[in-house]
Chain A
Amino acid sequence: MIIGKIKDGIVLDHITAGRGMEIYKVLGLDKLDCTVAMIKNADSIKMGKKDIIKVGQIIDLKFDVLGYIDPGITVNIIQNGELVKREHLTLPERVRGIIKCKNPRCITSTEQELVQEFRLTDREKKIYRCIYCEHEAPNPEE
């Protein structure tokens, strides 16, 4: 399958195979008017299989969201057909408004409009804890 190069836009590469659609939804790419290509199960020397998303315009990306969901992603920014920036994502220190605390005793379960916030407490084991009650977040890779 051939999908053409983009002139101005973003390529999200090295997405874990099978997670492309989740990232498509989280980033709200369905709301864009430009060309968006979702490639599932592309061959990859490094990963075996991977997903790729190509977006035909430069948009503001929530890097913390992406890093949390799939920290192995590479973000390539293309301008005038040239690669101008490449970012390798890592797990963000803080994640706001993505994970919901599951602890029924947590203040986030009752306080109106309180933004859910988690902090990374163990990078190796990818453990995030609610900043309010310290309850552990479910592993995003599970």
Chain B
Amino acid sequence: MNNLIDIMQMSPEEIQDLINKAMDIIANPGKYSEACKGKILATLFFEPSTRTRLSFESAMLSLGGNVIGFSDGKSSSAAKGESVSDTVQTVGCYADIIAMRHPKEGAPLVASRRAGVPVINAGDGGHNHPTQTLTDLLTIYREKGTLENLTVGLCGDLKFGRTVHSLISAMSRYKNVRFIMISPEELQVPRYLITDVLEANNIPYQEVTSLDDVMPELDVLYMTRVQKERFFNEADYMRLKDSYILTPEKLRTAKETLSIMHPLPRVNEISVAVDDDPRAIYFKQVANGKFIRMALIMKLLEVNA
């Protein structure tokens, strides 16, 4: 069974194939408009999401397929205490493919073992969010023409930010990539990523607390939101939520070719004044999310245009 639970399941070659497919979809959207005709995507979102769910649904509709699902666990049988296994075995009878978001880490893996149809992890708690990483990789590739020879700055909540963890793991497999991780000490990248991914593969990295000091070096600046839902403690959230805010002034020393990314939604970590800067590509990133999901759905359903 084809599933996507963790980005590291995919080799760089498989990711490149998917990027190439997404690029072709962008260039020739009409060619793909009936690629999934007669197929049904179920979006099972046990946790609220705007972008990811709509992106999946838009992707499937653009492929000529149909969509069913729910956008809140409270409106599903999970509210009655139904297990993930039972829910997906039921949905697997109605749909050809499932995209699932769940607050519990590992829920999509459980689902993939029971659904009988391909399962895509659309985010499991603070753990994995592989389609966001695919979106990020497509975005970087479209901007830079490569995923190699880049200095990538990651800024904000690097402790709980699942998109950051997956991006570090995925990009550590490309040549001559260097990471600069910018965060308050309380929100640094988990140690296992440093030891098991970066140091184990001799990837150069720096951990710093000042964005200003490293700004001129960056090819990519990946901003993140300090997410309230990842904290057990309100006081810690309030203390750290405004740690790093990107403004036009802060960008004065940045390269002309810098790409400013953000998985969105933002709260206030990127000033709205930055949106008009041509280096701000976070809304292009959103559009790329749909195209890469189209390519992924086609791959997992084993359909061609």
Taking beta carbons and an 8 Å cutoff, which residues of A are in contact with B?
A: 103, 105-112, 114, 121-122, 130-136
| Interface residue tally for chain B (C-beta within 8 Å) | 17
* A108 CA to B107 CA, complexed, in Å: 9
Binds A, one of B25-33, B98-106, B150-158: B98-106
Distance between A46 CB and nearest chain B CB, rounded to angstroms = 31
Do A133 and B110 form a contact, CB below 8 Å, given A121-B196, A122-B196?
no
Beyond A106-B104, A107-B124, A133-B105, 4 additional pairs, beta carbon < 8 A: A105-B103, A106-B105, A132-B110, A133-B106
Do A111 and B105 form a contact, CB below 8 Å, given A105-B125, A136-B192?
no
Taking beta carbons and an 8 Å cutoff, which residues of B are in contact with A?
A: 83-85, 102-107, 109-110, 124-127, 192, 196
Residue of A105, A112, A114, A136 touching B105 (CB-CB under 8 A): A105
Residues in B with CB closer than 8 Å to A122 are 196
* A112 CA to B82 CA, complexed, in Å: 9
Do A107 and B106 form a contact, CB below 8 Å, given A133-B127, A134-B127?
yes
> Do B107 and A107 touch across chains, with their CB atoms under 8 A apart?
yes
* A134 CA to B109 CA, complexed, in Å: 12
> Do A111 and B109 touch across chains, with their CB atoms under 8 A apart?
no
* A112 CA to B85 CA, complexed, in Å: 9
Residues in B with CB closer than 8 Å to A121 are 196
> Do B196 and A107 touch across chains, with their CB atoms under 8 A apart?
no
* A132 CA to B103 CA, complexed, in Å: 13
* Residue from the set B104, B106, B107, B110 with the largest chain A CB neighbour count within 10 Å: B106
Distance between B163 CB and nearest chain A CB, rounded to angstroms = 16
> Do B83 and A132 touch across chains, with their CB atoms under 8 A apart?
no
Residues in A with CB closer than 8 Å to B105 are 103, 105-107, 132-135
Residues in A with CB closer than 8 Å to B102 are 107
Q: List 14 A-B contacts (CB under 8 A).
A: A105-B103, A106-B104, A107-B102, A107-B109, A111-B85, A114-B85, A122-B196, A131-B109, A132-B109, A132-B110, A133-B105, A133-B127, A135-B105, A136-B192
Residue of A110, A134, A135 touching B104 (CB-CB under 8 A): A110
Residues in A with CB closer than 8 Å to B126 are 105
Residues in B with CB closer than 8 Å to A131 are 106, 109
> Do A111 and B196 touch across chains, with their CB atoms under 8 A apart?
no
Distance between B195 CB and nearest chain A CB, rounded to angstroms = 9
Residue of B83, B103, B125, B127 touching A111 (CB-CB under 8 A): B83
Residues in B with CB closer than 8 Å to A133 are 105-106, 125, 127
Distance between B275 CB and nearest chain A CB, rounded to angstroms = 33
> Do B106 and A130 touch across chains, with their CB atoms under 8 A apart?
yes
> Do A107 and B192 touch across chains, with their CB atoms under 8 A apart?
no
Distance between B85 CB and nearest chain A CB, rounded to angstroms = 7
* A109 CA to B103 CA, complexed, in Å: 12
> Do B110 and A109 touch across chains, with their CB atoms under 8 A apart?
no
* A105 CA to B85 CA, complexed, in Å: 17
> Do A105 and B104 touch across chains, with their CB atoms under 8 A apart?
yes
* A110 CA to B78 CA, complexed, in Å: 11
Residues in B with CB closer than 8 Å to A108 are 106
Closest A residue to B107 using CB positions = A107
Residues in A with CB closer than 8 Å to B110 are 107, 111, 114, 132
Closest A residue to B111 using CB positions = A107
* A131 CA to B126 CA, complexed, in Å: 15
Distance between B102 CB and nearest chain A CB, rounded to angstroms = 7
* A77 CA to B27 CA, complexed, in Å: 67
* A103 CA to B190 CA, complexed, in Å: 15
Distance between A61 CB and nearest chain B CB, rounded to angstroms = 28
Do A109 and B196 form a contact, CB below 8 Å, given A131-B109, A132-B109, A133-B127?
no
